[in-house]
Structure 1
Amino acid sequence: MRGARVAVLTGAGVSTDSGIPDYRGEGAPVRTPMTVQAFLASENSRKRYWAGSHLGWRSFGSARPNIGHLALAKLEAGGVVSGVVTQNVDGLHRRAGSRHVVELHGSMDRVLCLSCGQHYARQAIADRLTELNPEIDLGTTIRLAPDGDVQVDDVEAMAIPACTVCGGVLKPDVVFFGEFVPADIFKAAASLVQSAEVLLVAGSSLVVNSGMRLIEQARRRRLPIIVVNRGITKGDSRAVVKIDAGASETLTAMAEALLE
């Protein structure tokens, strides 16, 4: 990594020290994620999604960058890291100070109207949900998922806001299960890998296809691939170095060594 342009691909394991759980790590909650097909097909599914997402937003939205996020921002400022491609939707890389961030799966702090394309700040929609559903108990003990969702079963009385411009359906500006990463977003991520000399993967099991597509691009260009993750990943066989350790402490150690 020393003297090289390093592109970084991050996953949920980078954010666990910020209080956001991993999808597949030890102790990860067993859950059935919302698919885009279910979200679009049924108002009851949209009610269930927004009820759980609203309950989780207070914790998810208040999460703070950890030392791993800060280390990557320092590595970028120091000229080592050329940019970060993240599979996370928590916005923590931006909040840590990373400037060149490609959010493959979007970000939970934005909401999109599926009819007219109007964007909203997530907090504005959260305020509307609270006004429409004052009985929602935000003091309830919850178990947060990596996408900020919480399992809620009784949603019959849930009221969900519509777009104030056209009355259309609102959806967080994230890629749901069953959706494709937008072509322009993936192109930006691929461009970052194409211009790099090393690919560093941190905190990802690489189960999601979009991440593995970037790994394959790096492999075809014969870039050295470094994987930092607790447990096995789908990219281990392609890595020249595999570090089985936590992302936060490893990224911090890298920043200390490379910026000394």
Structure 2
Amino acid sequence: MNEINQLKEFVKECEHIVFFGGAGVSTESGIPDFRSVDGLYHLKYAYPPEHILSHSFFQKSTEAFFQFYYDKMLYPKALPNITHQKLALLEEQGKLNAVITQNIDGLHQLAGSRNVIELHGSVHRNYCTKCGHFYSLQEVIDKAPIPRCSCGGIIKPDVVLYEEALKEDIIEQAVNAIAAADMLIIGGTSLSVYPAAGFINYYSGNKLVLINKSVTPLDSEADLLITASLGEVMESLI
């Protein structure tokens, strides 16, 4: 496959690679993209996922929020797949500077990646909205249906909900990493979620690689476009 050979050449030439990934990175670990439309949502939930996962819904309908959160957002038994593993290996080899992820599952860290910029937070960090005490994922699971702190406050996942802004320091880290990259690999994302997708504009190099099964708004701007399974591509990379 010519595209794979070209990708390998790019990797050989570069030492400041940044990977920007979305939900498609984790689907091969058995974590579905919650935006995917299926009948279950329509049968079981009265609102679309984007509405349920909003700040206002969390405040007004906390129990319904957590019902969806426990049911659709938590996969504590999920394991890193080949993409997570190969990215960790690239970092270990001194090729990869950072992983910027829109996912909240923590699988990049579990695979061994150290410099992971989590744009939307992590299910592994949870805090009391009243006293600020932090709780692990397992502690939150054990406290279902509505996790509460010993002080009585509701425990909120440290994830960015709809209607909430990304953290300024996280934005700065992501922008700086992309701006300094000599190669930017984008994988498993439709680039439809903003402001995260807008960070791509800070890349000024000539090795923009886009790996995605479906069409994205940046397809025409990619220096290398690979329309294939992210896992298959990454498996053949190293």
Same fold (TM over 0.5): yes
Q: Runs ≥4 in structure 1, deviation > 3 angstroms?
A: 23-31
How many angstroms apart in 2 are the aligned matches of 1:79 and 1:28? 45
Amino acid at match of 1:3: E
User: Structure 2: which 5+ runs fail to align?
Assistant: 1-9, 42-47
Is the aligned partner of 1:160 residue 2:143?
Answer: no
Amino acid at match of 1:71: K
Is the aligned partner of 1:93 residue 2:104?
Answer: no
Shift of 1:167: 2.7
Shift of 1:24: 5.1
Q: Which residue of 2 aligns with 1:229?
A: 212
Query: Would the aligned equivalents of 1:230 and 1:246 in 2 still touch at CA under 8 Å?
Result: yes
RMSD after superposition: 2.1
How many angstroms apart in 2 are the aligned matches of 1:75 and 1:88? 19
Aligned ranges 1:89-168 → 2 under 5 Å: 89-129=104-144, 160-164=146-150, 166-168=151-153
Give the one of 39, 48, 64 matched to 2:64. 48
Shift of 1:186: 1.1
How many angstroms apart in 1 are the aligned matches of 2:158 and 2:56? 15
Give the one of 160, 169, 187 matched to 2:154. 169
**Shift in CA distance, 63/117, structure 1 to aligned 2, threshold 3 Å:** same
| 1:171 counterpart SS class | strand
**TM-score normalised to structure 2 length:** 0.84
Shift of 1:126: 1.3
How many angstroms apart in 1 are the aligned matches of 2:35 and 2:236? 25
Shift of 1:81: 1.1
How many angstroms apart in 1 are the aligned matches of 2:102 and 2:85? 17
Give the one of 35, 38, 63 matched to 2:57. 38
| Corresponding pairs, count | 219
User: Structure 1: which 5+ runs fail to align?
Assistant: 130-158
Aligned ranges 1:8-19 → 2 under 5 Å: 8-19=19-30
Query: Would the aligned equivalents of 1:215 and 1:235 in 2 still touch at CA under 8 Å?
Result: no
